[in-house]
Amino acid sequence: MIREIKFRGLSRVRGTRNKTEMVYGQLDMKPNKDARIIWYGTVRTGRKVRRSIFVDYRTVGQFTGLSDAHNNELYEGDICWNPHDETWGEVIWDEGGWCYQWENVIESLHDCCDFVEVRGNVHEHPELLNQG
């Protein structure tokens, strides 16, 4: 199975609603911690163009290759609700694999991705993890 490698990060530029927004695509990270997300869009003529935007390097998260219970893509830093256990948790990279951490438990994301539901991420909605 080939997994699509892509990233997301919070833009450093305020968007149309005067707030930063998550952007998705390929990552270009420089040693000085300048990070850009690159994607390809289509203009009115039908021609594909390369676009990029600078993102806060601290908010960059990688796509896990997995989806939640509602077929939403799971990214590093996602905050999920597990209705089965009635717990909040976070998608993390731990010991060479994608994991789901809730309370004091870390389990393989593969084992629980069909049950959890993405509700936000640690950069835009950190308060979700404090709900009990």
CATH of residue 100:
2.30.30.290
Encoded tokens for 107: 């389990």
* Final residue before a domain boundary, out of 15, 43, 58: 58
Answer yes or no: do 71 and 123 share one domain.
yes
**Least confident window among 8-17, 37-46, 102-111, 118-127:** 8-17
Number of domains in the chain: 2
Answer yes or no: do 67 and 120 share one domain.
yes
Distance from chain centroid for Cα 106: 18
CA atoms within 13 A on the CB side of 38: 10
- Which of 95, 34, 27 lies closest to 61, judged by CA? 27
* Type of residue found at 10: L
Per residue in 66-79, pLDDT (tens digit) is 999 999 999 999 99
Answer yes or no: do 28 and 85 share one domain.
no
* Type of residue found at 123: H
Domain carrying residue 109: 63-130
Per residue in 53-106, pLDDT (tens digit) is 999 999 999 999 999 999 999 999 999 999 988 999 999 999 899 999 998 999
Query: How far is 65 from 111, CA to CA, in rounded Å?
Result: 14
pLDDT at 48: 87
